[in-house]
Amino acid sequence: MNTLIGDFVNYLDVERGLALNTRESYERDLQHFSEFLSRNRSSVERASRTTIVAYLLYLEKQGLATATQARRLAAIKSFYQFFLREDGQGSGRNPTDNLHSPKLEKKLPTVLSVQEVEQLLASPDPKNPPGMRDRAMLELLYATGVRVSELVSLDVPDVNLELGFVRCAGKGSKDRVVPMGSVARRAVAEYVERGRPALVRDPMVTSMFVNHHGRRLTRQGFWKIVKRYAQSAGITKVIAPHTLRHSFATHLLDNGADLRAVQEMLGHADISTTQVYTLITKGRLKEVYARTHPRA
């Protein structure tokens, strides 16, 4: 099974061009499914529709979020399509046929207010190299709305401070160019000039944002930084890695930005993904109306 999973992950990389985080998620999901099969003395070849349903019920009993259950089923479905084709059983029995994903709860993303964003961005101490780095990352994240994985993957040449744009590789290795504002440009420029040279030990390192060892900062490392600053800023909302991305999109729409332009900046393949932010904006309008209109 491990060999099959390895072949499948390689297929996701080479033929479908999926991002590293997506490939790793699929691999973890399939390893978990493989362990379930082993415990129940089954295998990929012998698994039936009943086996897959039993696995989904097991996930539900474990209290996993509906989105997690849906993602694991999607990974299993994609794996079986690959397995049956590669194993020469293109017309063979697929135990995932006609299995539908659990209905996802529609949850609006958490968004920070403009004041909360300002408090968060003001938290790092720009007088030392790590503080310069953290301020530059937070400013750049809010200014561009890039994903955290895209942010930590940036190399120095990807950030054009003179013209004010960032080039990043999104999902499916699709490059896009996103503009950044003057405040973010100043913060990044200061970090590049004074902060990064103090952190980078190897001149051959091209990573834009590095840790105290001089190596590329990881997604997990940056997320710890965000949580620390959110706490010091007194932000009580439960924030996630994409909170600043969500705030970026919502604040743009709040101020009249075109939905298609926001979609392009976020790198969404489908505009319906971007439209969730309009629901937040409409919700805010209702709150303002209810609070301010004399006959609300």
* 13-70 confidence digits (pLDDT tens): 888 888 788 889 999 999 999 999 999 999 888 899 999 999 999 998 988 888 888 8
> Is residue 219 annotated as a catalytic residue, yes or no?
no
The confidence score (pLDDT) of residue 37 equals 93
> Is residue 229 annotated as a catalytic residue, yes or no?
no
Query: What does the alpha-carbon distance between residue 243 and residue 57 come to, in Å, rounded to a whole number?
Result: 31
**Residue of 72, 135, 196, 245 with catalytic role:** 245
DSSP 47: -
- Confidence category of residue 90, pLDDT binned at 50, 70, 90: very low
DSSP line for 194-240: IIHHHH---TT--BSSB-TTSSBPPHHHHHHHHHHHHHHTT--S---
Is residue 173 scored above 80 in pLDDT?
A: no
> Is residue 32 annotated as a catalytic residue, yes or no?
no
Asked if residue 265 is part of any domain, the answer here is yes
Asked whether residue 54 falls in the same domain as residue 188, the answer is no
Is residue 296 scored above 70 in pLDDT?
A: no
What does the block give as tokens for 90?
A: 């293109």
**Residue of 171, 186, 215, 216 with catalytic role:** 171
Greater confidence (284 vs 98) lies with 98
> Is residue 106 annotated as a catalytic residue, yes or no?
no
> Is residue 147 annotated as a catalytic residue, yes or no?
yes
Is residue 138 scored above 90 in pLDDT?
A: yes
**Residue of 49, 216, 242, 284 with catalytic role:** 242
Q: State the average pLDDT over residues 149-173.
A: 88
Is residue 293 scored above 60 in pLDDT?
A: no
Q: State the average pLDDT over residues 117-138.
A: 95
Asked if residue 70 is part of any domain, the answer here is yes
Asked if residue 19 is part of any domain, the answer here is yes
Predicted structure pTM score:
0.66
**Residue of 133, 147, 185, 246 with catalytic role:** 147
- Provide the number of structural domains found in the chain: 2
The confidence score (pLDDT) of residue 288 equals 58
- Confidence category of residue 284, pLDDT binned at 50, 70, 90: low
Asked if residue 124 is part of any domain, the answer here is yes
Q: What is the CATH number of the domain that holds 252?
A: 1.10.443.10
- Is residue 287 exposed (0-12), middle (13-18) or buried (19+ Cβ within 10 Å)? exposed
Is residue 92 scored above 70 in pLDDT?
A: no
Where in the sequence is the domain holding 217, given as residue range(s)? Answer: 114-291
- Lowest mean pLDDT, pick from 12-26, 74-88, 216-230, 282-296: 282-296
Asked if residue 81 is part of any domain, the answer here is yes
The H helix count followed by the E strand count for the chain is 14, 3
| CA–CA distances in Å: residue 193 to residues 143, 150, 152 | 20, 22, 18
Asked whether residue 60 falls in the same domain as residue 119, the answer is no
**Residue of 77, 215, 268, 284 with catalytic role:** 268
